[in-house]
Amino acid sequence: MKDLAIGVSGINAVDNPGPGVGVARSLKEAEDLNARIIGLAYDAMEPGIYMDWVVDRSFIMPYPSGDGAAYFDRLAFIRDQQGLDVLIPNLDAELPLYLKRVGELKDMGIATFLPSMEQFKLRGKDKLAEVAERMDIKLPKTKVCTSLDQLIAAVDELGLPVMVKGSFYKAYAAYTTTQAVSHFHALVAEWGYPVIVQSIVSGEELNVIGVGDGAGGSLGIVGIKKISVTALGKIWTGVTIKHRPMLDAANRFIRELKWRGPFELECIVKGDDVYLIEINPRFPAWVYFATGVGVNLPARLVRHALGVDQPLAPDYEAGKLFVRYSYELVTDMVKFQQAVTRGEVG
Amino acid sequence: MKRPYEKPVINKLRSGLMNKFGWSPAYARKVRTAIDGVSVDELCGQFGSPLFVYSERTARRTYRQMFNAFSTRYPNVEFGWSYKTNYLQAICALMHQEGSIAEVVSAMEYDKARLLGIPGEKIIFNGPHKPMAALEKAVVEGAVVNVDNLDEIVDLETVAKKLNRTVHVGMRLNLDAGIYPQWSRFGFNLESGQALDAAKRIARGGRLKLNGLHCHIGTFIMDPQAYAREITKMVKFGYELREAFGFEMESYDIGGGFPSKSRLKGVYLPPEVAIPGIDEFAEAITHAFSEALKPGDFPKLIIESGRAVIDEAGYLITSIVAAKRLADGTRAYVADGGVNLLFTAFWYKFNVELDREVGGINETSVIYGPLCMNIDAIDEGIQLPPLKRGTRLIFSPVGAYNNTQWLQFIEYRPNVVLVTESGEVEIIREAEDITDIQRRERLPKHLELKNGK
Amino acid sequence: MNRLSQLALSDEGFVFDPQTGDSFQVSETGMAVLRALKEGRSDEETAQQLVADFEVSLEEARRDCTDFRGQLKNFGLA
């Protein structure tokens, strides 16, 4: 294969890491792709910009919150200058913009492999009941609230403690009604309505990463358990597992919803019961874990997006360990200066 | 050869904000030299600054898009132009020309519609305050009156008795469509049975007949499904009324509240992405409506159009009268128009365009209005290159709610002009002068000052 | 001592302060003013230099030099 220019965002490998560096590293390891990684960054201090063995060239992007036209102008500029065969957006905030203008990307000759807008909306926590039903797994008792009265009624009905969640982001445990009310106000102020109240299910927190082919088929899935997490709740050590009911549920997720593109499912497992907690419509930051055990999902996604034949998804072994570690690099100020003044590094 | 000048700027790089495009001229700056082909310079030269400018072309185009979105999906659709959104005569007339009837919420708005030549039967009279005289006039003239409360039922029965005839009325409902805050202060609550009780009361009175239902679930609603839930509940209730009292619902008025492409403060995504298109609303509403109706029933679907139709047609041109630096180093500009003219600045972050290309690095800047009050800030964190006095800032969209909610406080309200479809510029509201402010005042004899003493 | 003389100026408009570790982005005219001030010129001389090099009136240049000095002061550089 000729060399492929692949745009990857979320190269902020910081204490709350984006998935970009893991995605880029996975692509680099797939030798058949000959991947040249174009990092798309939002800040001159994103570590990926400086990791030149993973990211070949980086560009500062206008914020996706701004004018979509400016964002796409910038993509066109990068394509003209560097080539841009495939794009893998990895941040939640970017997805609505990409999904809304996915046709334009195609016209620009940039391949993507993203969920549809309808699938994307299913990740809303007010929609999880529908998804859980289609996956044939359980959902912790859930109430969708659009007023304080409803919240209080929901807390009464579910019984304390409860989780109080924003429809897309943030979740807090509440042990008293007063706490639930204050979380409710905080979530409404930041994310608006609705707010979701969920009973707390105790059990093992297990996760699945995967990619669906959009026609009900799987490009690969890997199940893991987080052994330890950081203060921000991000995985630090983990282990691959094979919890059959959960992996079956993940395959049903792919099949029933005809999921297209990457995803992460967060579940709680109690015996054979699997509860759905959250769907992320993108790769998680620990995506390299799957690559490390032989299931290189970013590379498989790229091949599939380009219509390149590849073997069926490989299996993986349970009991492989994931250890994240910190490491430092020292470089010259020049790269930083370039990122600031030119918006390009590399 | 001298180089073009831009004002000197130094920005400190801060972690988390090191994005070139936060400052870049090419990506963050928008320039508008003309509105519908008429130059901003010419407009201000002739009509002064600040200046409200409406685009007739945009207003008509937006109306037609919205009307078509509904009328191509359901055979019996009527739009009621929401006067409170913008009751400048020219704007109302334009909406009526497009085929809209009038939706008014006060005696004053009712008078406005009548003065414009709109017959009573083309007026929907809503709102919680309908004085007896206005109510009687509306009934006599055949307006659609939507009852808001029990006292109003009594008033309407009094009118019916006086006229010695049966009067047809609509009922304002409030219901849970999953929208917060639920507007329960208007009309009768559906879920609690209050609405049914009111209908019973109307049937028992014998002088009024219910022939329509009205509801309005809120404002700037971003979820099309909320309207679907609303209309499903309304239709179900309509059939209950037929069953129980023989009232036949000829129309369902689902209100308005559709969002425009305004950017609400605190919403991260741009409106083009965050706000569903009008087709999505039309699809959800007409689909739910058809599902809920019995076969062969095609009651009128009334939409109260307002913000979604007119907001994007309106611009406010202002001029920078002073540039200053705040104590913390932030750049601040004083514009000749502020929240006195842009009431919606309290919840929107406007699109801000400059009237010329300006070079240089952007700085985080604040735009203040002319009022001597701290609240008068139109934008408290915008990336702008250093601007000269006299530079014009063009704010949009401002067509909804500003020309009805603007304040007279300490300033004169400026000219409002319409750029017509043929490119002419017409004044549709003249700038005020001191006589407008003083005309209604009376100075008692003993307070008259002699020689300024 | 003159804080300005220690600043490292790049042609691209990037300024690094080795004393505090702060970095700054400076516009083209800002760099011209900064260089002039670094060389110890007065505000008036600096303004006249701007007039000589750029399309600007002396009045506007004077005003902007005063404002720029205010910005430097604000960042603790002057």
CB B419 within 8 A of CB B425: yes
Question: Band of the pLDDT at B428, cuts 50, 70, 90?
Answer: very high
Please report whether residue A153 resides in a domain.
yes
The count of structural domains within chain B is: 2
Instruction: Say if residue A172 is in the same domain as residue A103.
Output: no
| Residue B218, H or E segment | none
| Residue B262, H or E segment | none
Question: Band of the pLDDT at B205, cuts 50, 70, 90?
Answer: very high
Is the minimum CB–CB distance between A318 and chain C shorter than 8 Å?
no
Please report whether residue B47 resides in a domain.
yes
Indicate which CATH number applies to the domain containing B401. Answer: 2.40.37.10
Question: Band of the pLDDT at B266, cuts 50, 70, 90?
Answer: low
Please report whether residue A133 resides in a domain.
no
Residue B20 has pLDDT above 80, yes or no: no
Question: Band of the pLDDT at B17, cuts 50, 70, 90?
Answer: low
Instruction: Say if residue B127 is in the same domain as residue B32.
Output: no
Question: Band of the pLDDT at B26, cuts 50, 70, 90?
Answer: very low
Instruction: Say if residue A220 is in the same domain as residue A305.
Output: yes
pLDDT in tens, B218-264: 888 888 888 999 999 999 999 999 999 999 999 999 999 888 877 76
Touching subunits for chain A (3+ Cβ pairs under 8 A): B, C
Residue B326 has pLDDT above 90, yes or no: no
* pLDDT at position B273: 64
Question: Band of the pLDDT at B171, cuts 50, 70, 90?
Answer: very high
- H-type alpha helices, B131-180: 132-140, 150-163
CA distance B345 to B339: 6
Over residues B325-341, the mean pLDDT reads 91
* pLDDT at position B453: 55
Inter-chain residue contact A336 with C12, CB threshold 8 Å: no
Over residues B124-148, the mean pLDDT reads 96
Inter-chain residue contact C15 with B10, CB threshold 8 Å: yes
The distance of C14 to chain A (nearest Cα, Å) reads: 6
* pLDDT at position B209: 96
DSSP string, A200-261: PPPSEEEEEEEEEESSS-EEEEEEEEEEEE-TTS-EEEEEEE--HHHHHHHHHHHHHTT-EE
> What average pLDDT does chain B have?
91
> What average pLDDT does chain A have?
92
CB B42 within 8 A of CB B35: no
- Collect all residues of chain B within an 8 Å Cβ-Cβ radius of residue A62: 19, 21, 24, 27-28
* pLDDT at position A64: 79
Is the minimum CB–CB distance between C78 and chain B shorter than 8 Å?
no
Higher pLDDT, B139 or A193: B139
Please report whether residue A136 resides in a domain.
no
- Collect all residues of chain A within an 8 Å Cβ-Cβ radius of residue C23: 336-337, 340
Please report whether residue B385 resides in a domain.
yes
CA distance B399 to B420: 15
Instruction: Say if residue B38 is in the same domain as residue B113.
Output: no
Check residue B138 and report its DSSP letter. H
Indicate which CATH number applies to the domain containing A25. Answer: 3.40.50.20
Q: Which residue of B has its CA nearest to A64?
A: B269
- Collect all residues of chain B within an 8 Å Cβ-Cβ radius of residue C52: 2
Q: How many CA atoms lie within 13 A of B124 on its CB side?
A: 31
pLDDT in tens, A129-168: 889 999 999 999 988 887 788 889 999 999 999 999 887 6
Residue B452 has pLDDT above 80, yes or no: no
Question: Band of the pLDDT at B85, cuts 50, 70, 90?
Answer: very high
Residue A246 has pLDDT above 80, yes or no: yes
The count of structural domains within chain A is: 3
Please report whether residue A119 resides in a domain.
no
Return the amino acid letter for C39: E
Instruction: Say if residue B90 is in the same domain as residue B186.
Output: yes
Indicate which CATH number applies to the domain containing A238. Answer: 3.30.470.20
Instruction: Say if residue A26 is in the same domain as residue A64.
Output: yes
CA distance C68 to C26: 11
Over residues A168-178, the mean pLDDT reads 85
Question: Band of the pLDDT at C6, cuts 50, 70, 90?
Answer: confident
Domain of residue B393 covers: 20-53+312-438
Q: How many CA atoms lie within 13 A of A146 on its CB side?
A: 12
Percent of chain A having pLDDT more than 90? 68
Please report whether residue A121 resides in a domain.
no
* pLDDT at position A67: 62
> Considering only CA atoms, which of B113, B170, B175, B174 is closest in space to residue B146?
B170
Over residues A165-193, the mean pLDDT reads 83
Handedness of CA B370, B375, B377, B378 (dihedral sign): negative
Please give the structure tokens belonging to residue B330.
């932030």
Place of tokens 């919890």: A243
Instruction: Say if residue B272 is in the same domain as residue B415.
Output: no
Please give the structure tokens belonging to residue A265.
């499912």
Check residue B87 and report its DSSP letter. -
Higher pLDDT, B384 or B254: B254
Give Cα A176 to chain centroid, integer Å.
32
Q: What share of chain C is helix, strand, coil (3-state, %, to 5)?
A: 55, 15, 30
CB A328 within 8 A of CB B7: no
Inter-chain residue contact B10 with C30, CB threshold 8 Å: yes
Domain of residue A149 covers: 141-199
Instruction: Say if residue A171 is in the same domain as residue A223.
Output: no
Residue A296 has pLDDT above 50, yes or no: yes
Touching subunits for chain C (3+ Cβ pairs under 8 A): A, B
* pLDDT at position B359: 76
Residue C28 has pLDDT above 50, yes or no: yes
CA distance B434 to C5: 58
- Collect all residues of chain C within an 8 Å Cβ-Cβ radius of residue A342: 12
- Collect all residues of chain A within an 8 Å Cβ-Cβ radius of residue C16: 333
Higher pLDDT, A52 or B357: A52
Q: Which residue of B has its CA nearest to A98?
A: B273
Q: Could you report the predicted ipTM of this complex, rounded to two decimals?
A: 0.94
Instruction: Say if residue B215 is in the same domain as residue B174.
Output: yes
Check residue B275 and report its DSSP letter. S
CA distance A280 to A117: 14
Please report whether residue A122 resides in a domain.
no
CA distance B203 to B211: 12
Please report whether residue B450 resides in a domain.
no
Question: Band of the pLDDT at B4, cuts 50, 70, 90?
Answer: confident
Please report whether residue B2 resides in a domain.
no
- Name the 3-class secondary structure at A290: helix
Please report whether residue A125 resides in a domain.
no
- Collect all residues of chain A within an 8 Å Cβ-Cβ radius of residue B267: 192
* pLDDT at position A123: 82
Please report whether residue B8 resides in a domain.
no
Instruction: Say if residue A12 is in the same domain as residue A98.
Output: yes
Please give the span between the terminal C-alpha atoms of chain A, in angstroms, as a whole number.
23
* pLDDT at position C1: 45
Instruction: Say if residue B276 is in the same domain as residue B346.
Output: no
* pLDDT at position B15: 67
- H-type alpha helices, chain A: 20-29, 68-82, 95-100, 102-107, 117-121, 128-135, 148-158, 177-191, 244-256, 287-292, 297-305, 333-341
Instruction: Say if residue A222 is in the same domain as residue A145.
Output: no
Is the minimum CB–CB distance between B274 and chain A shorter than 8 Å?
yes
pLDDT in tens, B279-293: 989 999 999 999 999
Question: CA-CA distances (angstroms) from residue B420 to B64, B75, B395, B423?
Answer: 16, 31, 20, 5
Least confident stretch, B71-85, B105-119, B121-135, C60-74: C60-74
> Considering only CA atoms, which of A60, A5, A44, A47 is closest in space to residue A28?
A5
* pLDDT at position B153: 96
CA distance B278 to B256: 12
CB A180 within 8 A of CB A188: no
Please report whether residue B89 resides in a domain.
yes
Interchain CB contacts (distance < 8 Å): B and C: 79
Please report whether residue A129 resides in a domain.
no
Is the minimum CB–CB distance between B327 and chain C shorter than 8 Å?
no
pLDDT in tens, A106-131: 999 999 999 998 899 888 777 888 89
Q: Which residue of A has its CA nearest to B177?
A: A146
Over residues A76-103, the mean pLDDT reads 92
Inter-chain residue contact B7 with C67, CB threshold 8 Å: yes
Instruction: Say if residue B216 is in the same domain as residue B324.
Output: no
CB A37 within 8 A of CB A24: yes
Indicate which CATH number applies to the domain containing B142. Answer: 3.20.20.10
Instruction: Say if residue A301 is in the same domain as residue A337.
Output: no
Question: What is the CB neighbour count within 10 angstroms for residue B42?
Answer: 11
Return the amino acid letter for C42: S
Question: Band of the pLDDT at B131, cuts 50, 70, 90?
Answer: very high
Instruction: Say if residue B225 is in the same domain as residue B132.
Output: yes
Inter-chain residue contact B27 with A68, CB threshold 8 Å: no
pLDDT in tens, A24-70: 999 999 999 999 999 999 989 999 999 999 999 999 998 876 667 88
Q: Which residue of C has its CA nearest to A343?
A: C12
CA distance B303 to B78: 6
* pLDDT at position B222: 81
Q: What is the largest CA-CA distance in chain B?
A: 90
Residue C72 has pLDDT above 70, yes or no: yes
Inter-chain residue contact A340 with C23, CB threshold 8 Å: yes
The distance of A130 to chain B (nearest Cα, Å) reads: 16
Place of tokens 């058809």: B290
Residue A191 has pLDDT above 80, yes or no: no
Question: What is the CB neighbour count within 10 angstroms for residue B166?
Answer: 10
Residue B28 has pLDDT above 60, yes or no: no
Inter-chain residue contact B18 with A45, CB threshold 8 Å: yes
Residue B399 has pLDDT above 60, yes or no: yes
Least confident stretch, A256-260, B417-421, C7-11: C7-11
